[in-house]
Amino acid sequence: MALSATGEPEVVLRLVGITKRFGTLLANDSVSLTLHAGEVLALLGENGAGKTTLMNILFGHYVADEGTIEAFGRPLPPGSPRAALEAGIGMVHQHFTLADNLSVLDNVTVGTESLWRIRSDRRAARARLLELAQRFGLEVRPDAVVADLSVGERQRVEILKALYRDARILILDEPTAVLTPQESASLFDTLRRLTADGLAVVFISHKMNEVFAASDTVAVLRAGKLVATHATSDTDRTRLAELMVGRAVTPAAPQPLAAGEPVLELSHVTVASDHGRPLLDAVDLAVRRRQVIGIAGVSGNGQTALAELVSGLVHAEAGSVTLKGAPVERADPAAMIRLGVARIPEDRHSAGLVGAMTVWENLIAERYRAPAFSRLGILRRGAARTYARRVIADFDVRCPGPEARTQTLSGGNMQKLILGRTLAHKPDLILASQPTRGLDIGAVSYVHGRLLEARAAGAGVLLISEDLDEILALADSIAVIHRGRLTPLLPNGRASISQLGLLMAGHWDILPEILDAA
Amino acid sequence: MRLEPRADSPLALQVFAPVGAVVAALALCAALVAWTGAPVLRAYGLLIEGALGSRFALTETLTRATPLILTGLAVAVAFRAKLWNIGAEGQLYMGALAAVVVGGGMLDLPAWLLIPLVLLAGMAAGGVTLLGPAVLKVRFGVDEVVTTLLLNFVVLLLVSMLLEGPLKDPMGMGWPQSAPVIAAAELPKLVARTRLHAGLAIALGLAVLLWLMDTRTIWGYENRAVGANPRAAAFAGMPVTWIMLRTALLSGGLAGLAGAAEVCGLKGYLTLDLSPGFGYSGIVVAMLAQLHPLGVVGAALFIAAVFVGADAMSRAMPVPNYIADVMVATSLLCMLVAGLLTRYRLRRG
């Protein structure tokens, strides 16, 4: 840490008693934080704990109801992102704010030049950009168009954008959500170089690994309150998880089971795209009963197409899909449901549920034509509500009742609703597509537990996830997806995390080495 | 000032919203009435009297409301499924056209058989008219706002051509009008010696039926799901394309029925001024009703009363009857704001 003249690390940022309400919701409850030069502070908390709200207040997107912020000893005027920028605070949002059609250099310099100058000094700008990039290990091509960059590269551009504006405090909102393990490692390396240079970094996270990999100090938020601040080296995972959730958490662990007969077989399946490269390219895969097959990969490599194929939303252009030994002709969602496929969509808001409709209406959405729920075209609303009450109880959905509008539920409860809708019917195959994305630890362990329970009951589970930790925790075997192609199944544990990371990045030349190791 | 979403919108608020919107609209329009120099309260008094104050006024308002209920239902049904049908006017004329063709003496049947047949023909013609744009939408993604709107003019020109040509009444003194429907195709009157006809009963019955369909049947369930989130509906295995097409048939059919009922219940024959924009007013009715089938009845009665009452008022005072258009338009704007306020809360800061 950089030390001030007195030998104490210089305080660069001081938040005192920050309180923010949205209606009746207390998003931040008198939160006080200090950040020192050269420090990486991890802001840890579940979804909805108030992490992003707090940082948005710091950056001037929101105005706090109470409390003050001081940056470098001077009070920061509330509600002004410009003042925050001028005070040396830079923010890298979870969803990047880059102009896709502009070059890296243009994206970095935009807004920093006076409108009144006819010619901008691009040569100096480029030199400065390259100097920053080199100093902090943020390799970029200044003339590349942002649309052509990978997610990791875009994030580097975002960080450079902040540094170019002389940021001395950098805020990163869930920076690793979209990165491969290697890219994350390189990001943490950059963070170390930044702090060595005297910058201070706040990064928001709900992943424990990153906290230990990258932070000096960890602050835990729960339900808007700051519940603890520790030096990272003084604490451990279990302790932090308890602080985050407020109670002890036991991670789900699969018990060893003998896999049964195959329920889903894909043979040389190709799914075409509208332009060029197919979304799925001659994919072979088999999922057996009492088995979790994990599909690992960086987002956008064909996971969506694979999920849509098994959901019945898209068709294979070539190759064959076999369910429980019988080939599937003309699949559609209704047919897949009839064949015993439980589908958990990757986007529960837009594909899983109709937010404007009630809980009971959503719970019967996949089987409202069954005699249990309708007769001669008339809905049996009483029966449907009774059924809904049972599922709500069985799956611990926290909601006012069957008549509640689904959009008022939290993400975790929406996911429980979808689990209840699909798992209550003893499925043969479960397609779980990003089943815990955006969920907090408590809900994650619930979902994992339910999936493993279904596995023990004889279902095959196809788990598609961008969260490698999730796959390593649940899967019996793992296949890596890259550009629509799938590696052979690797028993969990066969490939190391770094090997999986290389496969995710497309270095399939290491495959023989992994396969031969057996 | 900022808008914050409300967690729930209480029923009282939802009922109060349209009432408040109408009151606000009347208050705003009072300024225009005052501008003409007429005393505001007396003007509104005359308007209300002209719309509701006598047997004649009341039946005229109800007569006027009949096609508005039907076109309002047509629009509400379509909009709920996010099918933006702006073509109720054209579908209404197609329904009227079918009515004069089928009811014009081509079939010699007793009234109990001919009337349902004529009305069904009108519905079919209206439904098929909307089916085209709906197919283009689900198949090729063609924007139905454009196609349904423009189809209105195509239909009007088609009707005009037919009225000048093959359908022209030889006894019509040269006017571009069709031959009248035969007596067996005329709808019975509801009140003797007035213009009020059985079309009103049909419209009210359909409003109740549609409400029941919406809340009690799997059809209504599917329609609401597709309207609120077509992606989730498709994911859950609902036949989204078929639901869209069947909604189009129903919506167009209701507008076509409005045309057939106007011909068989009121006018007797088809002219190019059969509808003073009932199809377009149907959009206003549906929006005022917040797309609720029973709300449509109330909204249609309100708009009909404003038009009928403003006519009466303008005969007695120097206020032009165009004020009716302004009042209806202002009500719609106020309703949009009121609808927003039922879903959001206004906050300072």
Q: What is the DSSP string of A321-352?
A: EEETTEE--S--HHHHHHTTEEEE-S-IIIII
Residue A514 belongs to a domain with what CATH number? 3.40.50.300
Q: Is residue A319 part of a domain?
A: yes
Q: Is residue B14 part of a domain?
A: no
Pair A421, A431 in one domain = no
Confidence (pLDDT) at B348: 64
Q: What is the DSSP string of A242-275?
A: HHHHSS------PPP----SEEEEEEEEEE--SS
Q: Is residue A393 part of a domain?
A: yes
Q: Is residue B141 part of a domain?
A: yes
* Best mutation target, A24, A354, A363, A368, to test chain B (most B CBs within 10 A): A354
* Best mutation target, B235, B238, B242, to test chain A (most A CBs within 10 A): B235
Show which residues on chain B lie within 8 Å of chain A, measured between beta carbons. 4, 7-8, 216-219, 221, 224-225, 228-229, 231-239, 345, 349
Sort out which chain B residues have CB atoms less than 8 A from A23's CB and list them: 4, 7, 345
Look at residues A225, A249, A273 and tell me which one is the last residue of a structural domain.
Answer: A249
Residues B147, B143: Cα–Cα separation, whole Å: 7
Q: Which of A194-198, A349-353, B198-202 has the highest mean pLDDT?
A: B198-202
Nearest chain A Cα distance for residue B254, angstroms? 21
Look at residues A425, A452, A479 and tell me which one is the last residue of a structural domain.
Answer: A425
Nearest chain B Cα distance for residue A24, angstroms? 10
Q: Which of A63, A334, A378 lies closest to B217 in CB terms?
A: A378
Confidence (pLDDT) at B300: 96
Pair A56, A198 in one domain = yes
Q: Name, in order, each residue with C-beta under 8 angstroms of A240's C-beta and a sequence gap of 6 or more.
A: A44, A208, A211, A218, A220
Percent of chain A with pLDDT over 90: 36
> Between residues B256 and A178, which one has the greater pLDDT?
B256
Pair A80, A195 in one domain = yes
Pair A229, A188 in one domain = yes
Q: Is residue A94 part of a domain?
A: no
Pair A68, A180 in one domain = yes
For A309, the closest chain B residue by CA position comes to B235
Confidence (pLDDT) at B59: 95
Judge contact between A295 and A303, C-beta under 8 A: yes
Confidence (pLDDT) at A7: 59
Number of residues in chain B: 349
Q: Is residue B308 part of a domain?
A: no
ipTM for the complex shown: 0.84
Confidence (pLDDT) at A206: 75
8 Å CB contact of A366 and B237: yes
Q: Is residue A348 part of a domain?
A: no
- Number of domains chain B is built from: 1
Strand partners, A152: none
Q: Name, in order, each residue with C-beta under 8 angstroms of A453's C-beta and a sequence gap of 6 or more.
A: none
Residues B33, B223: Cα–Cα separation, whole Å: 43
Q: What is the pLDDT of residues B55-68, one digit of tens each?
A: 999 999 999 999 99
Q: Classify A377 in phi/psi space as left (phi over 0), alpha (psi -120 to 50) or beta.
A: left
Pair A400, A470 in one domain = no
What token pair was written down for A496?
A: 């190391």
Pair A332, A445 in one domain = yes
Pair A178, A78 in one domain = yes
Sort out which chain A residues have CB atoms less than 8 A from B349's CB and list them: 63
Sort out which chain B residues have CB atoms less than 8 A from A336's CB and list them: 237
DSSP 8-state symbol, A9: B
What's chain A's average pLDDT? 87
Q: Is residue B24 part of a domain?
A: no
Pair A6, A136 in one domain = no
Domain that holds residue A124: 99-165
Residues A272, A259: Cα–Cα separation, whole Å: 32
Q: Is residue B274 part of a domain?
A: yes
8 Å CB contact of B232 and A352: yes
* Best mutation target, B217, B221, B344, B347, to test chain A (most A CBs within 10 A): B221
Pair A202, A64 in one domain = yes
Nearest chain B Cα distance for residue A378, angstroms? 4
- Number of domains chain A is built from: 4
Nearest chain A Cα distance for residue B348, angstroms? 12
Nearest chain B Cα distance for residue A464, angstroms? 17
Look at residues A249, A279, A306 and tell me which one is the last residue of a structural domain.
Answer: A249
Confidence of residue B165 (pLDDT cuts 50, 70, 90): confident
> Between residues A148 and B145, which one has the greater pLDDT?
B145
Three-state secondary structure of B137-167: HHHHCCCHHHHHHHHHHHHHHHHHHHHHCCC
* Best mutation target, B1, B2, B215, B218, to test chain A (most A CBs within 10 A): B218
Confidence (pLDDT) at A120: 64
Q: Is residue A118 part of a domain?
A: yes
Q: What is the pLDDT of residues B3-39, one digit of tens each?
A: 666 666 677 787 788 888 889 998 999 998 888 888 8
Q: Which of B218, B237, B345 lies closest to A332 in CB terms?
A: B237
Nearest chain A Cα distance for residue B251, angstroms? 20
Classify A464 as helix, strand or coil: strand
Q: Which of A334, A351, A357 lies closest to B224 in CB terms?
A: A357
Q: What is the pLDDT of residues A105-138, one digit of tens each?
A: 888 888 777 666 666 678 888 888 899 888 888 8
Pair A334, A197 in one domain = no
Would the pLDDT of A1 be above 50?
no
Confidence of residue A4 (pLDDT cuts 50, 70, 90): very low
Domain that holds residue B236: 69-286
Sort out which chain B residues have CB atoms less than 8 A from A333's CB and list them: 234-237
Pair A137, A11 in one domain = no
